[in-house]
Chains A and B, each alone.
Chain A
Amino acid sequence: MKEDIISWKPKTSGRIDLETRKITQNLDKRSKTLEYLQPGTKLEGRYKILSTVGRGGMGAVYRAQDLRFKVEKTVAVKEMINQATDPEIQKTIVEGFEREANILATVSHPSIPTIYDYFTLGTRSYLVMEFIEGDNLEIKLQQRRAAFNEDEVIGWAIALCDVMDYLHTHEPEPIIFRDIKPANVMITRRNQVRLVDFGIAKTFQTGSKGTMIGTEGYSPPEQYRGEASPAVDIYALGATLHHLLTNQDPRTEPPFTFDERPIRDANPHISVALENIVNTALMYNPPDRFESAAVMRKALIALAQQTGMLEEEISVAQATQFFQDQSHSPVWTFSCEDEIRGTANYHEGVLYIGSYDHNMYALEADNGNFIWKYAANGGIVSRPAIDDNKLYFGSTDQYVHAISCRGGKKVWVQSTEGAIYSSPTIAEGHLFIGSDDEKLHVLNILAGREAWSVNLGSRVRSSPIVAADSVFVGSENGEIQCYDFSGNIRWRTSAKRAVTATPHYYDGVIYITSLDGVLYAIDAKSGWVIWRFRMESGSISTPTTNENHIYVGSTDNRFYCVNIKSANKVWSFDTDNQINSSPVFYKGAIYFCNVDGIVYSLHAGSGRLRWKYQTEGSITGSPIIVDDIIYVGATDNKVYALPT
């Protein structure tokens, strides 16, 4: 029997209406322990209980043997124990039971179990039915712990539409199942679909208002108004398919939020066409859904017959090609003598970018014309900092270099004892930078003299940032540390693997990724972790925020947008290779690159692709954007300037 599944809350304000009272009584009674039938028990001298196959709040389902046959005939015996004390409720329960028996007796369909018998013994009523070997879809989903694939689901969906169409066109009255959900769909050993539990199915009279009943999470809005029409079952089938395709249980989400959780976000392998079919079934307003189960089945069959979603893929590729040709030819490119792995900076019309060829280049941002270059003794893989017309950067030659922006002339150099991969930050008249000598160095920017340094216990490739009177930095031993301006530690927090990314500070919180595959939100003041968001693999990408969203890439090839308050994924976007670059938010769009050398632009709100551009190298640095132009360097030695 179906019980009321929603939580309830009786109040004394105004009258307590019957609905609420009923629910209360059911729940109160449930507190008594039910006595189930023991194996060996015989009912009516005919059905011998073999085992219990399922238990509920109001009874159980048993596997039993029908002794009237000489051969071993297995049947299912469904028991309903009427525990209600209120006579009116007792009557309602018995009526529900008889309704199920009567509906089953008048239907005949391969996906509906056959009924053999029904009887009542005292407070217990029994239905004897065909025994189905198999598991229901809720159990199958739990066992699998992952979404089902498209082909499996389409097959079941077609079968379910077929049985729904049968019920909805039943004569003399259509039958509305009212409770389609994974737990009520059995899959036999031979992959056949069986719809079980007709406890709340009812015959349909147009415009009738019935009792609100059905499983929360799968029921459409109008079912809460007591309406039962074929559209109710179509919605519930949509909700069931959404659950199977995403492995997101709708009972743990706010009701009617399927549109906020697109199927392809959770499971990108699903075709757009199937997503559209499920979305149509899930429309809020019944007239917007499929007109009938038959129409929905037709749409599913058409999809199954298609040779695939190939056309869709081609059109996306063509669109991309179009964008690439039309608007995403670079404004200019500039070739260095070796790979570019770092990130550029911009100051007053000039772009500064370092290369593995040991040079820091100054280029005219408008046209890429060479202005000057400055030679260090090692590769430059970081991003230069600019302050007061001077450029500061570290190199694998172990030095921090300070040069003039105007002519690229040396102002000072200061040595560390390790190669420098960290980018400098300038604040409070000082330069903060990490080095492979395991230290965070703090230099006075005028003379390069060291104000203080602190040993972090392992290489510092993360770039320090300064915010809220503190310095934040990560290290290769997996620590994220916070110092005051005198070099006193305020706190440290451990990730499980190296922290190479740069912290991002926003509104009192430090956001940082680690090679342990987690995006951390850490309270800047106490160092305590507020939340963790798990990606499928490590990340060295530095996140960026915009309003309530944080954006970051990962070596799991995926780009994520996460809500910073709830730590829930808003959307993700799959690429074909690792994303080590840090994203930039610019005018409603997100820009990032992956190691395939592709520059991506996505709509920040939806995660939909705006365009992509294929460079000829790999990209590990990050783009910067100034005046609608993106500047990025690649391992094909080139600097690209692309329109946004």
Chain B
Amino acid sequence: MINKLRTSLKNLFRPKSQVPVVDAADPELSVDTKELDKKTTPVDTKKVGYSSPHITVGYGLSAGKQRNHNEDAFFTLTTMFSYNETELPFGLYMIADGMGGHKNGEVASELAIRTIAGTILTEIYTPLMGLDPQPSELSFREIFHNGIEQANAEIITKSYGGGTTITAVLVIGDQMTIAHVGDSRVYSIEPNGSMDALTRDHSLVKRLQELGQITPEEAAVHPQRNVLYRALGQGEPFEPEIISTKRPERGSLLVCSDGLWNIVGKEGMESIMKSGVSPQDICDRLIDTANDAGGPDNISAILVEFS
């Protein structure tokens, strides 16, 4: 960090270097540079942002102990692009928890991941890496929205009766955008292991509980406790929840299906977070713990650590 700071200071108002202008598309663009006035003392150093993040990812998936097939699907991609004093991390992490009899659940979750990952990579990643990195006409939010709509249409045609949750995190630079439908979750985890859910479950019982209509005890045995009010592939109009915020500077993100959070619970997960040695180790232990508790549902987890 100190070294980074020094470099940054040294580079303040240095004469234009040989480093080519990133956007070479405009030949009209002229850049004049004059020698820095000797009396200038550039000092304000507190603005030097955190960059050069290291992203370490762990993941795991288990059918659980009471089911013979796995309807969860997940996707991870982490890249780091460092150029011209810019460090641009790119990450895409997604979990889909499928539902529906026969093969419908598996097909729905796979279709959701394929369609949305395909959209993000085509609309964002490829243009970002190109020679002339022209941002898309559409915003991250709109691209996610389109991907989810497409996935929904695919599921309705190809897996009628199937449905799926989708929870996706897109990390670019210091920002992240989370797209969410259903009851899979994203947690933000402080370096000390304390967790905070960034998503709101689209579950009927959860909503009734929020309104004080039923108690947590009633919720646990509620006949509709498995009912989602939003899911992909169900034919009813729905609006995905898409939020953009700063990614954790230090700390982690956990993306997981309810087979994990519902079984291990927040406290259980927090204690594993504190004692784990690496993201992969933590994921393995999270899934083992869910299975030890009976493993009633499919379990999937992705842990993304920023350091």
Contacts and interface: CB of A to CB of B under 8 A. Distances in A.
Contacts of A531: 139-142, 242, 244
B189 interface: no
The number of chain A residues touching the other chain, given as a range, is 35 or more
A117 interface: no
Interface in A500-541: 507-509, 520-521, 523-532
Interface residues of B, number: 92
Interface string A235-276: 000000000000001011111100000000000000000000
Contacts of A28: 100-102, 161
Contact of A6 (B28, B161, B227, B241): B227
Nearest to A6: B227
Contacts, number: 252
A255 B160 contact: no
Nearest to A429: B40
A491 B161 contact: no
Nearest to B145: A531
Contacts of A24: 100-101
Nearest to B170: A530
Interface in B181-234: 183, 200, 202, 204, 207-208, 211, 213-214, 223-224, 226-231, 234
A27 B23 contact: no
Interface stretch (A13-21, A192-200, A415-423, A604-612): A13-21
B99 interface: yes
B43 to A, nearest CB: 8
Given A7-B230, A254-B229, A525 B86 contact: yes
A284 B140 contact: no
B246 A446 contact: no
B1 interface: no
A517 to B, nearest CB: 15
Interface in A268-308: 284
A434 to B, nearest CB: 15
A563 to B, nearest CB: 9
Interface in B2-37: 8, 11-17, 19, 21-23, 26, 28-34, 36-37
B22 A489 contact: yes
B267 interface: no
Interface stretch (A121-129, A398-406, A450-458): A450-458
A9 B263 CA distance: 16
Contacts of B292: none
B237 interface: yes
A409 B273 CA distance: 63
Given A19-B224, A256-B207, A469-B8, A532 B139 contact: yes
Contacts of A46: none
A142 to B, nearest CB: 11
B272 interface: no
A444 B227 CA distance: 64
A488 B19 contact: yes
Contact of A284 (B40, B177, B211, B241): B211
B142 to A, nearest CB: 7
B229 A6 contact: yes
B307 interface: no
A485 B47 contact: no
B227 A8 contact: yes
Contact of B244 (A12, A14, A430, A567): A567
A529 B204 contact: no
A393 to B, nearest CB: 20
B61 interface: no
Contact of A490 (B22, B128, B231, B242): B22
Contact of B175 (A31, A222, A454, A530): A530
Given A256-B211, A525-B173, A531-B139, A11 B297 contact: yes
A7 B234 contact: yes
A55 interface: no
A439 to B, nearest CB: 9
B144 to A, nearest CB: 10
A221 B211 contact: yes
A447 interface: yes
Given A28-B101, A249-B237, A446-B40, A525 B211 contact: no
A262 to B, nearest CB: 18
B172 interface: yes
B84 interface: yes
Given A468-B49, A525-B174, A526-B88, A492 B229 contact: no
Interface centre among B85, B133, B172, B229 (most CB of A within 10 A): B229
A370 B136 CA distance: 52
Interface string A193-225: 000000000000000000010001000011011
A428 B40 CA distance: 8
A27 B227 CA distance: 14
B161 A451 contact: no
Contacts of B40: 429-430, 444, 446
Contact of A212 (B224, B237, B242): B224
A38 to B, nearest CB: 24
19 contacts: A8-B226, A8-B227, A13-B262, A13-B294, A28-B100, A255-B204, A255-B207, A454-B32, A469-B48, A469-B49, A486-B11, A486-B12, A491-B23, A491-B135, A520-B139, A521-B139, A529-B139, A531-B244, A566-B241
- Interface pairs A-B: 8 shortest CB-CB: A525-B173, A7-B231, A13-B296, A252-B239, A531-B141, A529-B139, A444-B37, A565-B243
